[in-house]
Amino acid sequence: MALLMPFEKEEYLARMKKVKDSMSSRGIDVLLVTDPANMCYLAGYNAWSFYVHQVLVVTLDDEQPTFIGRYMDAFCGALKTTWLDASHVRWYSDDYVQNTEKHPFDFVAGVLKDMGAGKKTIAVEMDSYYFTATCYESLKNGLPEAKIVNGNLLVNWVRIIKSPKEIELMKRAAKIVEKAMQTAIESLEPGSRQCDVAANIYNSLIKGTDEFGGDYPSIVPLLPSGDTSGAPHLTWTDERYSTGTIVMIEIAGCHQRYHSPMARTVSIGKPDDKVKRVAEITVEGLNAALNTVKPGVTCEEVELAWRKVLKKYGFEKESRIGYSMGLNYPPDWGEHTASLRPGDKTVLQPNMTFHCIPGMYFDDFGVSISEAFRVTENGCETLANFPRQLFIK
């Protein structure tokens, strides 16, 4: 087995069984996995090759999935770093890459025919960032007798309950984000450049701890500030911070592709009373949500605990307050499954992991204070240990 893999083969086999059980229950013969997080989850493949087309083929009658990708990625990457044997690694030539006359999924269709899947029910990840309309059209043209159906999020829902080893990796990521958040707060001074603060954060995230290094997070440091601090997904510029500026920081530690996100808010100088009040309400609501978490509770019940706190103070929040997360690649560390919001009746189970981020966003400022947590046997455990407050520099 490849030395770079963080899990034993038995864990990958157990994951495959769960996926195939789900396929079978939905009448799916073949599943084409294009989300790199799902590919990593099932095969252990971890590379920045998802900018070209690649796929993992899962069938009901084969213990191993089959990797199909560009030659340099398949032969030099998948074959040497995954638990797959040589007969389960296929590659297309480089002239398929970004060629308007032919497409990698033309090649994939040919492989599926060779595998005897030309007339079977084939599921694809319809809403994956990495499965394009051209991929779909190429499959349809190459496999006219196959039934192509939507298998989106099938693997994601299997991933939602983490193994003990996965939890261990996420706790390492949490140690990394603790250090990086402290670095961010220490870097925020009047006159410091936003880009320098971002650079310091990146340095801390990648260096990790003395015991283990960091990986690149799936999302860049989010650093909205000042009048736009209520726009949570802004990044940074080369402008300098001034006294009186509110800065929201959302980052994640990442270790072997497993994330532990965290958000905190910093006031450079004394904040307005309204900022302090919103921060206090945010922490109270976050605590109420976390105190509600336990097996058997639904996602919407967790959000309701937060919403009751807001209502008490005359506030409302339009967006969800959290989501399932863990293993992922750019552009998102979320798993796209369960959300902490009204109407989501997903029942919490031990070793589900979420990022609870009840950010409060206004026209002229924002406050975001969050926690990543796992569901335990009788409650919840936050992954990181960092003061839950508004920081004043």
Share of the chain above pLDDT 70, in %: 99
Amino acid 43: pLDDT: 97
pLDDT at 313 over 80: yes
Percent of the chain scored above 90 by pLDDT? Answer: 97
* Residue 1 reports pLDDT greater than 60: no
DSSP letters for 37-89: HHHHHHH----S-TTS--EEEEETT-SS-EEEEEHHHIIIIIHHHSS--GGGE
Q: What is the pLDDT of residue 3?
A: 54
The answer on pLDDT for 266 being more than 90 is yes
Summarize pLDDT for 160-206 with one digit per residue, the tens.
999 999 999 999 999 999 999 999 999 999 999 999 999 999 999 99
Please report the DSSP string for 179-199 in residue order: HHHHHHHHH--TT-BHHHHHH
Domain 9-159: CATH superfamily, name plus number: Creatinase/prolidase N-terminal domain (3.40.350.10)
Taking each helix axis as running N to C, give the angle between helix 164-187 and helix 194-207, from 0 to 180 degrees, rounded to the nearest 10: 150
How is the chain split into domains, by residue range? Answer: 9-159, 164-392
Fold annotation for 164-392: Creatine Amidinohydrolase (3.90.230)
> Please, how many CA atoms are within 13 Å of residue 385, restricted to the half-sphere of its CB?
3
The single residue listed with the structure tokens 């499959």 is 139
Q: Please report which confidence band the pLDDT of residue 5 belongs to, taking 50, 70 and 90 as the band edges.
A: confident
pLDDT at residue number 2: 55
Fold matches, 9-159 and 164-392: no
| Residue 193 backbone dihedrals phi, psi, to 5 degrees | -80, 140
CA angle, 308 as apex, 306 and 309 as ends, to 5°? 70
Q: What confidence tens digit (pLDDT) does each residue in 70-108 have?
A: 999 998 899 999 999 999 999 999 999 999 999 999 999
**Mean pLDDT over all residues of the chain?**
97
Residue 144 tokens read as 């006219």
Torsional sign, CA 171, 236, 200, 215:
positive
Tens digits of per-residue pLDDT, 6-59?
A: 899 999 999 999 999 999 999 999 999 999 999 999 999 999 999 999 999 999
